[in-house]
Homo-oligomer: A and B are copies of this chain.
């Protein structure tokens, strides 16, 4: 039976009207009461141009409060938000708009000119345009049915066409509750949002905000100086980051120490190199590794406060309402990771077949490889599709990257498989170096830690690595670079 709760923003505005919902870098704030009233007004303005229960509306914006308001406004109408990645090309956007049956796209003043060049197949309006419209006298939602869809986000899916992951209100609710049961709930918390809100990692922070009654410190984009300052002197207690952000913050902190009130650096976006985690630990940064994906409405496996500093390299255990299994048909403890729980999507939009194949009896096949230690802690090894098979041996790119990144002179590294006549595939490394170092020196260093078949057969020095909007390494792009080099 679908549970019904009061509309969460209305509820929070009733419980804690004066409490800060959003804090900006310039020090301005918006309270929950203001957020509610602004969102409800925006909803009535959207209703004026025909948005209604069941409408699919795209949100195409970099982080700002307007997109959070739009999101809540759509929930007041019972409409579905399709969160669009601002890095997509016009063609990619049109694919998603068409697939998700979007009737209107909302965007920011900053992006509108670029978007107009794109020839999108649906009508586009800026947030500012909407706020200039008259308000329709419509009945807004006072309750939320947890089984109703709220957002659709396309998986970065680098193979095949992207699929729209449907998140119900319940998925977001359970994600927020699962995290609270792990991290605890403190009246003094302030969560910094620098991950893109069009990804579930950023979006989920704003769901937690209304459910917990917690301020979010909102950044338009990642800037390590601003994040560092926010932790040091703006009362931020939790930050969600991906590996490269942590790398930059660790570099920046130097001999300083974060305030004691700073209690969690929630690390997602794939396995992190162990040397980086060791460095963070040495600097007393409470890194909580986690594991999750769009389909799990953000983290579903996370280290707990008591294990964060002891279980380095592990993503932890499944959150309280969730379950975790590793399927390893052979003796090899490494196998595909399966997860289950009420934060897991019920499926992909209009993709019944794929849904049925991917989610069976509630268990989501993640396509990721990992293993459990004897204490039940998860170690994520790699994406299954990134696995390099060299002469019949499994080479996990993350393991090789982790070793190389331990070398003083190496800033960033990405490892992929290259087609090889003799071995089928061999690992090669793309390196962003800090200082003078040769490929030979790198391979000599790696020989101390890696079996021969895992050693990169080539080191390519580059200025930067390809990353997506979440700053996650895009290995498929490295594969394309290799192909281009062949020509």
Contacts and interface: CB of A to CB of B under 8 A. Distances in A.
Interface of A: 1-6, 8, 11-12, 14-16, 143, 147, 170, 174, 177, 180-181, 184-187, 211-213, 304-306, 317-318, 320-323, 340-342, 346, 362, 376
A190 to B, nearest CB: 14
A212 B320 CA distance: 9
Given A185-B181, A212-B181, A4 B322 contact: no
A187 B184 contact: yes
A399 B352 CA distance: 61
Given A180-B185, A186-B186, A323 B212 contact: no
Contact of A15 (B15, B170, B304): B304
Query: Nearest 8 A-B pairs (CB), nearest first?
Result: A3-B342, A185-B185, A5-B321, A184-B185, A6-B323, A177-B177, A1-B147, A184-B186
Contact of A320 (B15, B170, B341): B15
Contact of A4 (B15, B147, B177, B340): B340
Contacts of A323: 6, 143
B174 A3 contact: yes
Contact of A181 (B6, B211, B305): B211
Contacts of A177: 177
B6 A322 contact: yes
Interface hub of A2, A3, A14, A174 (most chain B Cβ within 10 A): A3
Contact of A2 (B1, B184, B318, B340): B1
Contact of A14 (B2, B180, B317): B317
A304 B317 CA distance: 31
Given A16-B304, A16-B306, A180-B185, 19 more contacts: A1-B1, A1-B2, A3-B170, A3-B174, A5-B321, A5-B341, A6-B318, A6-B321, A6-B323, A8-B320, A12-B320, A14-B376, A15-B317, A177-B177, A180-B181, A181-B211, A181-B213, A184-B186, A184-B187
Given A3-B170, A317-B14, A320-B211, A305 B187 contact: yes
A132 B275 CA distance: 54
Contacts of A318: 6
Contacts of A147: 1
A143 B363 CA distance: 13
Most buried by B among A14, A174, A318: A14
Nearest to A14: B376
A441 B44 CA distance: 62
Contacts of A305: 187
